[in-house]
Amino acid sequence: MSLLGPFIEVLIGGLLAGVLYSLVALGFVLIFKASGVFNFAQGAMVLVAGLALVRSLDFLAARGAPVWAAIALGLVFAALVMAVCAFAIEKWVLRPLLNQDGLTLFMATIGATFVLEGLAQMVFGSDVYPLRLFPTDVWIVLDGVFPGGILINKLDVWGGLIAGALVGGLAIFFQKTKTGRALRAVADDHAAAQSVGIPISWIWFVVWLVAGLVALVAATVWGTKLGVQFSITFLALKALPVLIIGGFTSVPGAIVGGLIVGAGEKIAEIYLGSHIGGGIEYWFAYVLALAVLLVRPQGLFGEKIIERI
Amino acid sequence: MLYRETGQFKTSYVKDMQIFPIRQDRIGIALLLAVAFVGVPLLAHFHVWPFRSEYLLRAILLPFLILSLAAIGVNILIGYCGQISLGSGAFMGIGAYMAYKFGTGMPEIGLPPLPVLASILLGGISAAIVGILFGIPSLRIKGLYLAVATLAAQFFFDWVFLRVKWFTNYAPSGSVSAPDLVFFGWLVDSPIEKYLLALMFVTVIALIAKNLARGSIGRQWMAIRDMDIAAELMGIRPFYAKLSAFAVSSFIVGIAGALWAFVYLGAWEPLAFSIDRSLQLLFMVIIGGLGTILGSFLGAGFILLVPIFLNLVPSELGVPLSTETISHLEFIIFGSLICFLLIKEPHGFARLWSLAKEKLRLWPFPY
Amino acid sequence: MNDWTRAETTVVASAREQPAGTPPVAVETAHAAGEPLLSVENVSLSFGGVKALSDVSFDIRKGEIRAIIGPNGAGKTSMLNVINGFYHPQEGTITFRGARRQQMRPYIAASQGISRTFQNVALFKGMTTLDNIMVGRTLKMRRGLIMQGLRLAPFVAEEVRHREAVERIIDFLEIEHIRKTQVARLPYGLQKRVELGRALAMEPDLLLLDEPMAGMNLEEKEDMSRFILSANAQLGMTIALIEHDMGVVMDLSDRVVVLDYGRKIADGTPDEVKRDQRVIDAYLGVSH
């Protein structure tokens, strides 16, 4: 019984951290579902959104604006910046590469990543900027049942609620709306979608804008947790195993994948890491993803690809 | 007028299949090799411009040679065989650390320290073995998914070289230094000697790589890259083709890693072989030209020169840039260039070079 | 009697009369009762809910030209993919050269002498014509990596030998002028010819052609027909051919099998099949 308490604490902590990964993975799934492009730049977008938000917040607060106004204006400003990014990427990266294969577009997003990271840091600065948008203290629950109780991080809970709301909204958007259907058509076949009159440029702008807003939301949570800094971009890399495990095209998959990765990492670190030297979190998610790939290449919820010749 | 093929008829298939079928190309390469093997060392020895200081040799030519070698290895995997890999940094690391272990001896299994040449080659072979292991997933997964699998290799080995003390011979600081570079009794320690050593490795391996690329296995690799299903139906075994690409590529990258550690750095930490290195190599082959040996050299040269350029030119113009700004500018330049090349010329600088040569054939006529 | 078969007959007839560049072809030799080279029995194939093939059985005799025809979506390409080992049928067996299998494997199919062309040209876009056809020789090249890397004499000799074989095919198909061109730059008709060359380079016993005449004009069809006939008569290749051009089918083939909605609805000589009411209904779209 005395082992169960700590285990549950680690598990809950891991699950909630996993939800935060899902937040970033959602942005990927969105773009992939809607344009067939794997957006390596999602992590950079989180950084851009975070920097825009935190710097404008600091700027406004330094001029004596009330907190609620600063936050509202900061969010609007960051959203505008993401809109500009979406427009630029659509115009200069996606449109010229229309109809190219997925790998070319993927490499183009790697290029875009570097441009975004360089520009954002040149314009907004490259220090660590703390963000205080959510409560960061903890709850201690069930201390009658388990000695010392179970520690739950309030920030992680907020992250979970926000992710849940996002998932619900996105699911409705894709299934029920006309734009959502158009997005799925575009993802399947660019040329065919164009030939039935779907305005691809506009669609892509919308998709990347929404992904940018998802990145902004992720930035608010992650920025509060870690501070807004360059290493946030490595989140993008961590989201990759989440997507592999969940399947690239599945919104629920991103959630489940995130939970598995988050919980798995923490549990492996505590229970395995102590034996072989620690720092397992660094690679555990990837090796787990590799194992899933070998057994079920399309992930848990992804669509099976049938090749034709 | 200068660059014409007129009068150069091939009378046998062997002549038609040469690396440089055009006589002007053969002369050009001979000149280049003469300059590289004889000209540069002479100029450097007598400190003639541009070799007044050791900077050009030590900080530009030497890393250029070794990174070009690594880029050749990466190009074989990504450019010729179409298997995307984000883990090449880790393979350089495996080459470096295993060469170190062979060079300092493994008393646990009774192995004495081996001579440097053998250690470097064994470092490459170790990298090849691991490359084959991590290449096995490529038989079932492709493209993006394979990229993630190679990331697994990258992060795993980052951790291994940091935490498994055996690799650093239990050094408290975590960083190691290379053994003395003694080749057949000759101690290599001056910049000129190191340059020549690297040059010899690069020339020999580049030649072997080019031979493989234009041989049967090179065609198999390219067939798998272009249309792997049709390739399999033509009798190419994907197992053999893909794993041989991983093996050859990792071998070359491993040797480059060992050279990087032993000859260029002298003393190193695991950070030298992190994901940044993998991305740097990826950029080199994309910018230089996927699927060409020349492109590996062009890409490596370009990526090495841009930071130096950004450093020197603004300060010459009186507007020095801070290191932070330089590194941000590098990001922006490399990123934009990748996007630009992917849009305009997906085959990179190597294709621009061959287009220029085609124009040169017609010069001074426009068409 | 349906006249839609007559209109295109002249195309192939002229090809048969003058196969230019090759010795006169003895057209009668390759037909009639050879023993079966390949037979499929009760093959059924489905993807998820879609049944592509249902209980299909037929054979292909040694030395004949067998046409597989049917309306779009009938399962013809799927049938070829099953023979190649690319698709694995849920039921049925494939017997090739006497060995009976539940499913083929691509490498076994290729190494035992089955090669093919594809409906959407599947050339290796990054290579030249010459290299594409050289890939067809891969199975016959034995020299290992070390020999290739150091370009030792035995490897060079082997490469030259196979280059000579490939040049013979290039002469046969009259594509000398494009041998060093990147195939991505070639017009569609020439690409199809290069693809035929690559398949011929394997020196197969059974050649599967998936719509080799698609998208070609009259002249190109004449040329292609000539090549197919020569391959069959001169080189003794057994050929299975999916084709929509009825004139070509009727004149080139010895026997025809007709598929519709994944089932076999007719099997016999071109004349027999032409008169079969079920075939006429299928093509005219009479609901059944």
Helix, strand, coil percentages (3-state) for chain C, rounded to 5, are 45, 25, 35
- The owner of tokens 């299949």 is B17
Confidence of residue A14 (pLDDT cuts 50, 70, 90): confident
SS3 per-residue string spanning C48-76 = CCEEEEEEEEEEEECCCEEEEECCCCCCH
- A6 upstream amide cis, omega within 30 of 0: no
SS3 C99: strand
pLDDT at C100: 87
CA distance linking residue A131 with residue A138, whole number of Å: 17
- Domain locations along chain B: 40-49+56-362
With beta carbons less than 8 A apart as the criterion, state whether A102 and A36 touch: yes
Q: Do both C189 and C209 map to the same domain? A: no
Measured distance CA(A154)–CA(B154) in Å, rounded: 34
For chain B, list residues with pLDDT below 70. Answer: 1-3, 367
Q: Would the pLDDT of C25 be above 70?
A: no
| C102 and C214 assigned to the same domain | yes
pLDDT tens-digit readout, A18-48: 887 888 888 888 888 777 788 888 889 999 9
Pairing verdict, β C238-242 and B182-183: unpaired
Q: What are phi and psi of A38, to 5 degrees?
A: -90, 115
DSSP at C182? B
Q: CB B174: neighbour CB atoms within 10 A?
A: 14
Distances (CA, A) of B33 to A168, B10, B181, B295: 65, 25, 24, 17
Please identify, among C199, C233, C253, the residue that sits at the C-terminal boundary of a domain. Answer: C199
Can you read off the two tokens belonging to residue B34? 């003469």
Query: How far is it, in rounded angstroms, from Cα B156 to Cα A48?
Result: 29
The three-class DSSP label of residue C91 is strand
On average, the pLDDT of chain C sits at 84
Q: pLDDT band for C6, please (50, 70, 90 cuts).
A: very low
Indicate which of C87, C121, C123, C208 best probes the interface with A, i.e. most A CBs within 10 Å of its own CB.
C87
One domain for residues C103 and C74 = yes
Structural domain of C262: 3-113+204-284
Please tell me the predicted confidence (pLDDT) of residue B44: 82
Rounded distance between C-alpha atoms, residue B157 and residue B164, angstroms: 10
Residue A226: pLDDT band by 50, 70, 90 thresholds?
confident
The CATH number covering residue C208 comes to: 3.40.50.300
Buried b / exposed e along A89-109 (16+ C-beta atoms within 10 A): bbebbbeebeebeebebbbbb
The structure tokens 């001579």 sit at B115
| Contact across the interface for A306 and C118, Cβ inside 8 Å | no
pLDDT band at A65 (very low <50, low <70, confident <90, very high): confident
Q: Write down the pLDDT at residue A133.
A: 74
Residue C23's pLDDT is 38
Classify domain B40-49+56-362 by CATH architecture.
Orthogonal Bundle (1.10)
Q: Which residue has the tokens 């000697």?
A: B193
Query: How far apart, in whole angstroms, are the C-alpha atoms of residue A46 and residue A226?
Result: 13
Q: What pLDDT does residue C14 have?
A: 39
B37 close to B204: Cβ distance less than 8 angstroms: no
What is the residue whose two structure tokens read 């699998």? B149
At C43, phi and psi to the nearest 5?
-80, 130
- pLDDT classification of A149: cutoffs 50, 70, 90: low
Q: Do the strands C255-260 and C263-268 form a parallel or antiparallel pair, or are they unpaired?
A: antiparallel
Paired residues of C99 in beta bridges: C96
Q: C-contacting residues of A 249-308, CB under 8 Å? A: 306
Lowest mean pLDDT among A48-52, A299-303, B134-138: A299-303
C13 and C99 in a single domain? The answer is yes
Of residues B275 and A152, more confidently modeled: B275
Are the beta carbons of A309 and C86 separated by less than 8 Å? Answer: yes
Contacts of B325 in chain A (CB under 8 A): 122
pLDDT at A147: 67
Show which residues on chain B lie within 8 Å of chain A, measured between beta carbons.
84, 137, 140-141, 143-145, 147-149, 151-152, 155-156, 158-159, 162-164, 229-230, 275, 279, 282, 286, 324-325, 328-332, 334-339, 342-343, 346
In which residue are the tokens 């890259």 written?
A: B225
Residue C22: the pLDDT is: 44
C18 and C79, same structural domain? yes
Cα B178 to chain centroid distance, Å, stands at 21
pLDDT at A6 over 50: yes
Name chain B contacts of C86, Cβ cutoff 8 Å. Answer: 229, 233
Judge residue A110's burial from the number of C-beta atoms within 10 Å of its C-beta, 0-12 exposed, 13-18 middle, 19 or more buried.
buried
pLDDT score of B74: 96
Whether residue C131 sits in one domain with residue C230: no
Per-residue pLDDT reduced to its tens digit, C234-274: 888 899 999 988 888 888 999 999 999 899 999 999 989 88
Each domain of chain A, given as residue ranges in start order, spans: 4-232
Q: Based on the structure, what is the number of domains in chain C?
A: 2
Return d(Cα B264, Cα B54) in angstroms, integer: 13
Share of chain C above pLDDT 70, in %: 87
**Does residue C233 share a domain with residue C280?**
yes
C-beta separation of B284 from B67 below 8 A:
yes
Residue C281 is predicted with a pLDDT of 84
pLDDT at C5: 32
Residue C191 has pLDDT above 90, yes or no: yes
Q: How many A-B residue pairs are in contact by the CB < 8 A criterion? A: 122
Please name the residue of chain B whose CA is at the shortest distance from the CA of residue A295: B140
Residue A305 has pLDDT above 90, yes or no: no
**Cα C274 vs. chain centroid, distance in angstroms?**
22
How do residues C92-143 score in pLDDT, each as one tens digit? 999 998 888 888 888 888 988 999 999 888 999 889 999 999 999 999 988 8
AA identity, residue B131: G
pTM, 2 dp: 0.87
Q: Which amino acid is at C11?
A: V
Q: For residues C185 and C215, state if they share a domain.
A: no
pLDDT at C9 over 70: no
C274 closest CA partner among C246, C248, C254, C252: C246
Q: What is the pLDDT of residue A146?
A: 67
- The answer to whether the CB of C60 falls within 8 A of the CB of C272 is no
